[in-house]
Amino acid sequence: MRLGIIGLPNSGKTTIFNALTGQNLPTGAATSGQFEVHTAVVNVPDPRVDKLSAMYNPRKTIYATVTYADIGGLDKGISEGGLKGQFRNELAQVDGFVHVVRAFEDDTVPHPYITVDPQRDVEILDGEFLLADMVIVEKRLERLQADLRIRGKNVDKAVPVELELMEQFKAHLENERPLRELDLTDDQLKMIRGYGFMTLKPVLVVVNLGDEPKDVRDLLIYDHPHTSLVGLQGKIEAELAQLDPADAAVFMEEYGITELSAAKVIRLSYELLNIQSFFTVGEDEVRAWSVAIGATAPEAAGVIHSDLQKGFIRAEVMKYDDLIAAGSEAALKTTGRLRLEGREYVVQDGDIVHIRHAM
């Protein structure tokens, strides 16, 4: 799970990267306009993991993770003629975007477009990605139409199917709407997997606020499927990320901060990718695993190890809330709420799973 942190120059995206990851990368205009990528893997905060770890006292506790890539070099005009080279490859590899939009005033960090306008700024990069996708669609349409003319009735049966889909994409993009708004089937998604459409990826818009918290809905309207909108006081939280917990608590009290928004942004990033967590527990390890929403028990087993999916027999399933209420696994078993599930069982968020399998 890899999310690309993007934004216009001087939007504070590296500051947000530092706040989310605890890194201390240099920020400011000196690094803008260059192609550079920094990555970090971050644990997804989950109090359920903490409680399970306290219950089982394992040797290891492992959280679900998200990888953030701070991608520099985005600005108006980047998509002219289509995205190219390493830049395009880096953007294509991420599963979604964290789009940092500036909403703070700072005379020492001038805005590239003079005024601070979050609505305008988010639309600039949206427009660039719409254009990049349109270039792909138009080139693909040309190839498909040429293939249809040359081969006629002998053309591969997949060609007219894809041609119809690309025409749908073109009409949607011409209306300045991202492709993630379309309700695509699994077969359609498989058909276009290699094209790297930018507007198909989910987006978390992070409004980079100043020292004062604000309601982001008053600053920006962003209403699309597969998107979320959240505010974060980037500079303050980046500073907090560098402190030990005791010093951070004093700092938060001074600024009247009751909860770090960075943790919320990480959780939203995780949820953005249409995934959920299930757990395995024991004396050796308590661990959160990531699986697609709607995955079956054998598919969840495959996330743990491919051999478990191949030899899957049954899954022992406990509900997290049931286990916590019972107080222990032994106590839960006496209630009859530990269930055996088969191949058709759809794993739910928070399930605690033990896989029975053939060797």
How confident is the model at residue 35, as a pLDDT?
66
How confident is the model at residue 248, as a pLDDT?
84
How confident is the model at residue 85, as a pLDDT?
74
Every domain of the chain and the residues it spans:
2-43+65-114+201-272, 128-195, 294-357
Confidence of residue 250 (pLDDT cuts 50, 70, 90): confident
pLDDT higher than 90, residue 206: yes
DSSP state of 328: S
Q: For domain 2-43+65-114+201-272, say whether CATH 3.40.50.300 is its number.
A: yes
Mean pLDDT, rounded, for 170-174: 97
- Which whole-number Å values give the CA distances from 8 to 71, 120, 128, 230, in the listed order? 10, 11, 11, 17
Across 236-240, 279-283, 316-320, least confident range: 236-240
How confident is the model at residue 34, as a pLDDT?
56
How confident is the model at residue 244, as a pLDDT?
86
pLDDT, one tens digit per residue, over 45-68 is 999 999 999 999 999 999 999 999
Contact predicate 206/19, CB 8 Å: no
Across 84-93, 140-149, 272-281, least confident range: 84-93
Mean pLDDT, rounded, for 8-31: 82
What CATH architecture is 294-357?
Answer: Roll (3.10)
How confident is the model at residue 30, as a pLDDT?
42
pLDDT higher than 50, residue 32: no
pLDDT higher than 50, residue 116: yes
Instruction: Burial-class residue 146 by CB neighbours within 10 Å (0-12, 13-18, 19+).
Output: exposed
pLDDT higher than 80, residue 170: yes
Query: To the nearest whole number, what is the mean pLDDT of the chain?
Result: 90
Q: For domain 128-195, say whether CATH 3.40.50.720 is its number.
A: no
Q: How far is CA 236 from the centre of its chain?
A: 23
Say how many C-beta atoms besides its own lie within 10 A of residue 40's C-beta: 16
pLDDT higher than 60, residue 93: yes
Express as a percent the part of the chain with pLDDT over 70.
Answer: 97
